[in-house]
Structure 1
Amino acid sequence: MLVRQNIYESVILFLYIFFCLSRCSNAAYSIFSVIGVLAIIFLIKKRTVFSFDPIRNFLRYYVIFFVSLFLAAILYGDITVVHSTWKYFLWTLPFWIVFLFESKEFRPDIFDNALSLALIAIFLSIIPQLNAQYRVVGYFGKPTLLGTELAIIVPVMIIITVYKFKQKNLMGRVMLIIPTLLGVYTLLMTKTRGAIIGVLIGGILLAALLYSIKKNNVKKTILMILVSLTIVGCIGAVTVQSFHRSYDHERVLLLKSSYAMWEDHKLYGIGFGHWAREYPNYISPAAKEPDLTIPHNVIASFFDETGIIGGFGFLLFVFGTLIILGRRIQQNPHNIYYQAAFWAFVALMCHGMVDTGITNRNALQSISAILGMAFASE
């Protein structure tokens, strides 16, 4: 009976992680979300013991973040805003499903294989588009959405491949290398600048953190970070004309409009999810895209929609999470899932400076699953 239950749990977890990270079927993801919740309820009724010690510190920032969002929504006084905030909170469900399943019995191969298959599925979706269009979109609809997803999961796959390559036989090594290369290639083919730069910056900061832990030399670490970021900046400056797009100036106007919006609604914002509704009232006369629905900057998004209350709650959550992950890497330098989560989280936040970032449903669900895996790995 116990063996059969473990098989069922493994299958549910594998399919849940696959559909969460691949996004190939929203219907399938929803179905396995429900199945996952029911399975956890079953485990709770069977009096399964879960240890919450690994997430105790993280929960403080998690709770502060969402309490600040709900407080801003309540002060705004519109039930639709409260409902939008509740939906946003539910997007973190993958954290709990993955964390609880994996903390009951840590099964890294299930996560690794589901991630590998997800990257292969995403690559297969872009094959018909390779010669047909300049930027691939897969089944995501927009290259930026595909780029966001890959900015989160490609770093995780790279870390897993680097650390587990020597442990595998020939077939195992092939099954690591192929998804990794396909993921990197697909990310480059999206030509999503924010996602690609986010992955580079995340990798640099992780390398600097690991170097600092190994050498215990803060000055050299800071110097290495500055040199690396300078190189990335120089590459960007040299290639700026190649990657320049007509809407780049529009982003500057968006930030100016967002700041004006925040000045009029400083405390609790314009209401979570209401940016698109308010934007026409603040649009610049020089703007050429009056139908934009997001400010293309996640910090502006939170400060505009939830004011100082939600904005500072968001910043506290971001920096608190990064500090916790950094400390866990220092305490467990051989734990690959903390390193993967750190890199993915940094990449997502960097990309969020020019796009939807963590306000996007797919992005929040994917990073939540990866964080859940990281904290369960302790």
Structure 2
Amino acid sequence: MVKVMLPSHVSGGFWLGLSKTFCIKHLPKQDTMFVLEDENGKKFETKYLVEKIGLSGGWRGFSIAHKLLAGDVLVFHLVTESKFKVYVIRSNGLGEVECALGLVQLDADIRPVDSADTNACERAENENREPKSVENPDGVIQRNKTAACNSKRGIVSDLFEDDTEDASCEVLEGIKLSESIVPFDEVCGIENFNVIYNGLIINPLFPKPLLTKYYELCCSQNSFLHEHLLEGLNYKLVAGIISETTNIADAIKACKITTLESSFSTWDKTLQAGEMLGMNVSFLREQLEQLASLASKLKTCEEARLEREQEEQEMRTRLAKLLEVKEKKDRLQSRISVKLMSRFKEVIDAPW
């Protein structure tokens, strides 16, 4: 779900109305506390109000913490029933992601930079600070806090003089332009396996174990699962989609009979969201559907077995009670017989 920030969203009442269609399809039917997790993993709690279809208490804190302004664009990715992963795209010039990578933008107000804008870019940069470095000839985004312009790619990087950007610098380090796209059948191993999106190799965004697992997942289908993703997505969102897909594939392999049906549902919804953006996850969804069906049948069989065991236990309990009653009856009859026999003898032995 994509939202363009309005003045009412980021000042004054700090109220964020959401898409009615999206909320009806995907969000809870009662007021719920939602977690908003930003790109750095920091979490904020906010309250989702069903009747008003929007976020209230807690949204103010998120807005202020991220210094949101009218015109900023937010991408909300629903990762669980009560958690959004939120990606921020700035309106005051291209944001860090778009500046660094030259992606096609999500909103009309955020446009790609062409060669005609390079001089303007340099002038604006010189007004604020002197450049400290330039783009590496190999296309690698160096870890320095400056802005450089390239006539072919537009803005290559735009990292501001702010301590909060250090983590972003570390992430961007190593990302470079791809000279060519190698077909998957020519990939010989993990050593020359590159995740390329919009002409950029984004391997540094993934831990090595996760990248290896994703490579194995692609090998199973003999194709890059992400090659048909829509153009213009935030590159961190792309990394998130790939990571979630890989993690869900791991979870599927590790699931047991005791795995909750809600887990299957959550995984499928997440995969469906990626599939809508072009991720090849149909084979995972098919396996999930089979597992969910088998799990449902197993649950039915287990419930029937437990019900049968309960009935058998109840039968054993009733039988035990019947045996107890029978024993009591036998003892009573025995005592009555003894008394009657004694009385019978007394009558015989009584004098005339």
TM-score, normalised by the number of residues in structure 1? 0.25
More strand by share: 2
Higher relative contact order (Cα pairs below 8 Å, separated by 6+ residues): 1
More helix by share: 1
TM-score, normalised by the number of residues in structure 2? 0.27
